[in-house]
């Protein structure tokens, strides 16, 4: 797909972050939009901004974990716009908790959005993309779909699953001679609200040496590497060159190279980093409260 002019794009998670930036960038490039988000007020705000840029826009509240609702949205989008050329399965959530203390309902919540939301969106829109004669599916994985991290087992599982699903889909489309292609996107640290909205269990302190509130604050600093607008432009460039994989941000490209170079040995580096970080956090806490540190030492 070389141009987005007069193309129709469906975007999940369009109320904020990369989804909102994708919608605005596509509107600037002459595309028309079907937008959805679990937060109806935020997606309405995005729709208003896109209409101001001249795009024809429909928007609605949508829970991507609801398969029937996603299929109904695809049907409504085709009826309202006459065709559908692109779907961006972008909605996602995060969860930080060690495996031993992870609740099953939290894993199900995350997988229903991060993985099953991608499956629902792909299957619901694929017939319409085929019918358009020029279609593209963009599924959002993560840097954590390339490497795994402690306390991120459920998130890793969902993003590795999106990667495998999308790569298999791409090959199937090629074998079938379909007019549809697909791209798997692996963002590194992109400044969005995913950490702010994430679920972080207090039990992570055993691994990180810091409490959940501090973990959230530090994680927000770590993701502020690439702007959502820059991420959207990189994703659209990937669609235009029909890339199999798009690594968003310099940090994602560095980690991808490291994983290729080290193979499974990267895990030892991560363990070393976490141990070093935990020791540093304990020293900082001791310096901030020497009386507590002395008491702790006397009871050992």
CA–CA distance, 284 with 286 (Å, rounded to integer): 5
128, 155, 266, 274: which one is catalytic?
155
**How is residue 78 written in tokens?**
């085709």
Helices (H), 115-265: 116-132, 153-176, 205-208, 212-223, 228-240, 250-262
Residues 6 or more apart in contact with residue 124 via CB below 8 angstroms: 70, 71, 73, 74
The answer to whether 95 and 106 have CB atoms below 8 angstroms apart is yes
Print burial letters for 242-264: b (CB count within 10 Å at least 16), e (below 16).
Answer: ebebbbbbebbeebbeebeeeee
155 is catalytic: yes
Q: Is 136 exposed, middle or buried (0-12, 13-18, 19+ CB in 10 A)?
A: buried
| Helix%, strand%, coil% for the chain, nearest 5 | 60, 15, 25
Residues carrying an active site annotation: 155
């Amino acid at each position: 797909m070389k141009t987005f002019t007069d193309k129709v794009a469906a975007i999940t998670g369009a109320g904020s972050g990369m989804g909102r930036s994708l919608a605005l960038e596509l509107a600037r490039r002459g595309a028309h939009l079907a937008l959805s988000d679990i937060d109806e007020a935020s997606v309405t705000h995005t729709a208003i901004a896109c209409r101001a840029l001249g795009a024809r826009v429909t928007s609605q509240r949508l829970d991507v974990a609801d398969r029937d609702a996603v299929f109904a949205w695809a049907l409504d989008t085709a009826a309202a716009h006459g065709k559908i050329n692109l779907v961006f399965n972008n909605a996602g959530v995060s969860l930080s908790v060690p495996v031993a203390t992870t609740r099953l309902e939290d894993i199900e919540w995350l997988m229903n959005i991060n993985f099953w939301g991608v499956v629902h969106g792909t299957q619901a829109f694929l017939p319409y993309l085929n019918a358009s004669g020029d279609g593209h599916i963009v599924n959002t994985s993560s840097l954590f779909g390339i490497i795994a991290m402690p306390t991120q087992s459920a998130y890793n599982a969902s993003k590795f699953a999106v990667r495998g699903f999308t790569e298999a889909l791409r090959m199937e489309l090629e074998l079938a001679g379909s007019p549809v292609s697909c791209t798997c996107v692996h963002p590194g640290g992109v400044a969005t609200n995913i950490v702010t909205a994430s679920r972080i269990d207090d039990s992570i302190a055993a691994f990180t040496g810091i409490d959940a509130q501090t973990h959230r604050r530090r994680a927000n600093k770590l993701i502020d590497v690439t702007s959502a607008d820059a991420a959207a432009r990189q994703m659209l460039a990937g669609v235009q060159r029909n890339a199999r994989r798009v690594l968003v941000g310099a940090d994602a490209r560095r980690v991808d190279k490291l994983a290729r170079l080290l193979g499974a040995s990267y895990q030892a580096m991560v363990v070393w980093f976490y141990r070093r970080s935990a020791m540093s956090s304990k020293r900082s806490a001791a310096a901030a409260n020497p009386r507590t540190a002395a008491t702790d030492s006397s009871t050992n």
